[in-house]
Copies of this chain bind each other. A is one copy, B any other.
């Protein structure tokens, strides 16, 4: 079950799109097969099960994302620059794995209870370490406001980034970097005009 890896990738991309659009449970194997141009039974030449497709989609994406976060964290930047880099990296991942991010966002909560998808909870912990740690470091260093509820801020930031996968369209008018810049400007400086303060 390891032949022609491009075909696998193609099929997984198709499956990811359908999962993202309809939801994993609402997606039938037949629907994926239709979208991919073969019959439902034929998908089983490539994958063990519908669940293993989901598994491969999510784990491939998370591996890449966490590697990206590790690189950022290893760079030894200051808190503000780290946040900027994490946000930018996140929007880049959304750009490359939009469907996978959308699936992760929608399904990971209830999937992570199954042993097979235990790595989703692990990934969430690593996110938390990365973001929350940086925010705390920034407050300590005076980069971020001392009166922040760091945990609450972390949740707001984390969610807004991921939920963007539900409306982001690769190849649209905004590049991931531009979106990251806009978002960072809002989160870091606020939307209120300074002249008023």
A interface residues with partner B (beta carbon < 8 Å): 21-26, 80, 106-107, 109-110, 135, 142-149, 152-153, 155-156, 159-160, 163-164, 166-167, 174, 179, 182-183, 185-197
Contact = CB atoms under 8 A, between A and B. Distances in A.
Contact of A80 (B110, B152, B192): B192
A187 B186 contact: yes
A120 to B, nearest CB: 14
Contact of A143 (B23, B24, B152, B196): B196
Nearest to A188: B192
Given A148-B186, A153-B186, 13 more contacts: A23-B23, A23-B25, A145-B191, A145-B194, A147-B185, A148-B191, A152-B182, A153-B182, A153-B191, A155-B167, A160-B160, A187-B191, A188-B191
A156 B186 contact: yes
A74 B143 CA distance: 39
Contacts of A188: 190-192
Contacts of A107: 23
Contacts of A194: 145
Given A144-B192, A186-B187, A190-B188, A156 B152 contact: no
A177 to B, nearest CB: 13
